[in-house]
Structure 1
């Protein structure tokens, strides 16, 4: 299959592929999603096949407006309406109870709830409106690998497997949307993102935290709760804020293979890195770091001689909660320790 690259001015051609039941990757403000007609079961099944994604992992349904959501859910409670009015279009996914049979189990993982998002990326909103259907949109990458933040990342993973890619340049945020469960009596954050806990609590009041590990026989309510995510081929270790980076330099010098260092400019510019170290900048703060994290992991993944990647950690507050959520999954909770020095 030829994978075509569409410019934002070519949304009509991309929408034609969607209506034909093909897959088209699209940009959002967070990461690139893998789009298919959410009402076409055969098309949705192609998404799982292209990604190599377990079929019990539910898919987020991307809509162009609030009215579309009302076609599928049982009710819109006042608190849900406040969320939509405050954060949509934007990087917030809301889990809601479904009307029976309104979406196929291939979309919901067999659950009676579904996750909805109204992205704010103009080209993607045009795509949804032109196609005339809501789109499922898991990250447009091979399942388990770092999420794509450019069309080139998508092409690297899925060329020949999907019909097209709508290329509107790099994404703005770099980490996936916040997911909040509004299908239960107590709202709960299932995945942190750019819409922070503090942002949500200003609208809803206190929120529960359900970022739990899902059991093997349990269907997750949201993406990212059950399976390994965001992992490059190389081993990833987190360098916590309290670690002296001099020890990282010393450790790196001792390694027989090249080492990747993913850190802020303040760290990269402060030390004399040995010749066996390749560096990638996370910029200046948590905002630029969140934007660059997946791209940096992917950059090192293109160098098979790099077997270890050390990544700067941040305090898990505000946007740092989303950053550390993704980084801990990429690292399998492995943190760099001076005990690793030999």
Structure 2
């Protein structure tokens, strides 16, 4: 029951193709998940980023059940997941910049915030009362198959309880919110391991609202210079000051652990009973894929705190550091 994802449209498209044989063996499971969504139930879904807790985006009662299951503040908008660009264009008002981004990075870990076109397709509660919608086409074959079978938009925030590290394995997703789900699909470990990049395409320059696996440089290659989040920040999930946090306090940019601490290392040489090396070779993609699962593993050792080694800010490091600053209680 598993398949992975990718960080660009081309790679994700190949992944979808590679997963077709496996999906054909899971049609009953896919159909059951789509039926559960139509009935107003919640479904645990794998994506290439993290596991999501999904509901029919058009059903306010189902969306309310997500907020209740996660303990999520209702002013925090949800991302609508759809099967293809055509469906996205029926729901959101996509301009030339949005189409260029979608063609470059969908299916994949990019969310586009644009003016809402069909407010019935993504209900007011899912949009936190905003006149915009956050939308993406995921690149994981399992979630893609469910979306195709369902036929509409599915809001699917990370399947953790609000504020905790996002689940990147099926076991962690089930442990967090599995008791709230009418169906649960195992898609294996998430390949990206960080939530999607979020960029708004409204008036003025596009704005980077949340960094992710699609990097600032990649976005700029498509749409030119990016403005910072500013007032558009409210249009993106994942912007709370304390977010992605384990039970133990998090101490960032730590050169070494102190007594009683667990340590998330980065690069070679680190080892020990409570040491979890995000990437022995200093690979940022590997570190991103391991971040949330290692935070959880470190937390299970009941440390006095979790110290985290300095992570470079370039490329994918911007997204990793954003999550770490929020886990530590700082606004990134």
Give the shorter-chain TM-score range. 0.7 to 0.9
Aligned to 1:97, which of 115, 131, 142?
115
Give structure 2 stretches of 5+ with no counterpart. 3-21
Aligned 8 A contact 1:148 1:294 in 2: yes
Aligned 8 A contact 1:107 1:136 in 2: yes
**RMSD of equivalent CA atoms:** 2.0
Equivalent position of 2:294 in the other structure: 296
Q: Does 1:199 align with 2:218?
A: yes
Aligned 8 A contact 1:35 1:138 in 2: yes
The superposition leaves residues 38-77 of structure 1 with CA deviations (integer Å, 9 ceiling, x where unpaired) of 111111110000000011110000000111122222x321
**TM-score normalized by the length of structure 1:** 0.84
Q: Does 1:12 align with 2:31?
A: yes
Task: Single out whichever of 46-55 and 9-18 deviates more from structure 2.
Answer: 9-18
1:49–1:227 Cα change, 3 Å: farther
User: Residues of 2 paired with 1:60 and 1:213: CA distance?
Assistant: 15
The superposition leaves residues 203-236 of structure 1 with CA deviations (integer Å, 9 ceiling, x where unpaired) of 111111116896xxxxx11001235211001011
The superposition leaves residues 164-200 of structure 1 with CA deviations (integer Å, 9 ceiling, x where unpaired) of 2210100001111000011222110000001111101
Give structure 1 stretches of 5+ with no counterpart. 215-219, 335-342
User: Residues of 2 paired with 1:15 and 1:93: CA distance?
Assistant: 22
Aligned 8 A contact 1:58 1:221 in 2: yes
Equivalent position of 1:232 in the other structure: 246
Equivalent position of 1:217 in the other structure: none
Aligned to 1:280, which of 258, 262, 276?
276
Matches within 5 A, 1:21-170: 21-73=40-92, 75-99=93-117, 101-102=119-120, 103-170=122-189
Aligned 8 A contact 2:200 2:232 in 1: no
Q: Does 1:327 align with 2:324?
A: yes
User: Residues of 1 paired with 2:221 and 2:262: CA distance?
Assistant: 39
**Deviation at 1:100?**
6.4
Aligned 8 A contact 1:212 1:225 in 2: no
SS, match of residue 312 in structure 2: coil
Larger Rg: 1
User: Residues of 1 paired with 2:240 and 2:321: CA distance?
Assistant: 17
